[in-house]
Chain A
Amino acid sequence: KQEVTQIPAALSVPEGENLVLNCSFTDSAIYNLQWFRQDPGKGLTSLLLIQSSQREQTSGRLNASLDKSSGRSTLYIAASQPGDSATYLCAVKNYGTYKYIFGTGTRLKVLA
């Protein structure tokens, strides 16, 4: 059974810092992995999607990497801003399924 874990559960950093959010999963037979952002009381916004054949994806100040063999992904945020404050969720989709299995998220607070 696929399980997704995110560390840390919460993180508070001063503005301008580079930071890394971690995601691990127990079953390496994934089809893809996606990072989402969730603002309080809102739905999920897709940030980056990495296919199982890819090693990383980049969008602006965000970079996500995937090491399928070790069951790990990281989300790197460069030059953090207060507007980055949100909960970041990692989710994986296994081969042969259409549903995402989510981690419990990392609550990020960037202080001005």
Chain B
Amino acid sequence: GAGVSQTPSNKVTEKGKYVELRCDPISGHTALYWYRQSLGQGPEFLIYFQGTGAADDSGLPNDRFFAVRPEGSVSTLKIQRTERGDSAVYLCASSPTRQSTDTQYFGPGTRLTVL
């Protein structure tokens, strides 16, 4: 079956622009996570959705970052007024339920470069 997919795979933008990153989780997975991975670092948690609602957004760095999941499936991470420090790989993961025992299945990521 299809895994987690993310589009675009690469995004280059200019400082100050707005970007949207999309995540398609595995069909039927109710939990969805966004992480950000800077060069040479491990992924850092941004936000977790259970269904349509953001259950934990404690990892969002500031109010320029926002994420939605309106129908409980596809999610979009939105970044306003991008800064060079936002350059990173943005990873999406999904899991079948919110049980802590569930493995999280990761997508290939979107590499964002802010010039």
Interface residues of A (CB under 8 A from B): 4, 31-32, 34, 36, 41-46, 49, 51, 89, 91, 93, 95, 97-105
8 Å CB contact of A102 from B43, B55, B103, B109: B43
- Chain B interface category by residue count: 20 to 34
Which B residues contact A (CB, under 8 angstroms)?
A: 4, 31, 33, 35, 40-45, 48, 50, 55-56, 59, 91, 93, 98, 100-101, 103-109, 111
Chain A at the B interface: mostly helix, strand, loop or mixed?
strand
6 A-B pairs whose Cβ atoms sit less than 8 Å apart in the complex: A43-B108, A49-B103, A98-B48, A98-B50, A99-B56, A104-B40
The answer to whether A51 and B41 have CB atoms under 8 Å apart is no
Q: Do residues B107 and A34 form an inter-chain contact, with CB atoms below 8 A?
A: no
**Is the pair B105, A46 in contact by a Cβ cutoff of 8 Å?**
yes
B91 — nearest CB in chain A belongs to which residue?
A43
Find A98's partner among B40, B42, B91, B98 (CB 8 Å cutoff): B98
